[in-house]
Structure 1
């Protein structure tokens, strides 16, 4: 799926209010990363500092800090769970998030507390695209901005 030159793979779940994607793994954990729109919004990412493995993460609370050109921001989880792993390669080379946000640039793995309930709050397909389109409209997103070029 594509929206304003940005890719949104249709096999993922999305939390547009958090600019995140989530992938359900076979071991019932979730892999979480920054969406293409999150990358476009932040621009070049210079650092990712995750919370410690084993830490309990509450819904809408930080699982780490993302530092980019002009500021830093808390990466907030859309669901509650236990942080079971962070991507050490991204900690060493944060540019991976911008280069491959849906692959090697994943950020954390989470063991969700109540996945059945939490999954209902996440979006897929056209609903996810519509929600990202609305965020882009509200944010005044310009796909021709230089910061977006790296994502094409």
Structure 2
């Protein structure tokens, strides 16, 4: 298996879609739902995550609205959905083990599953491959992200 493309040492696996403005990855599931998770860049920005609480299953989430709360180093932030749909489930494992988000953000540390209102229309809003790397490079520039900052160095993924 080939290594994931990286940007400043942070991996962005191929085969996923990305919402750079939300620091999320998306994966289409066979049942029509879409799994969302915090990407490596989001994890680097937040640092160690202490808790994630998803909103209740069955709730309709509008694009740009919160699907849950991420708690990290003396702060909390709303995790905002890049697409509209029904919240199918929050990841029960991250409720018990929030460190999974930092340790395995693209696997066991996923956040929620949403059944999109109109996936064919929404899908075009997301990027993958080289386009995703370019979009994250621009997002990092806008965020004044310093990949050499001591806190970021500690969070670098080994690829």
Q: Any unmatched runs of 5+ in structure 1?
A: none
Query: Do structure 1's residue 51 and structure 2's residue 52 form an aligned pair?
Result: no
Deviations 1:40-71 (A, max 9, x none): 00000011011001111110000000011031
1:150 to 141, 147, 155: 155
Where do 5+ consecutive residues of structure 2 fail to align? none
For residue 87 of structure 2, the aligned residue among 80, 83, 86 is 83
* TM-score where L is the length of structure 2: 0.92
TM-score, length basis structure 1: 0.97
RMSD, aligned α-carbons: 0.9
Residue of structure 2 aligned with 1:108, choices 112, 116, 120: 112
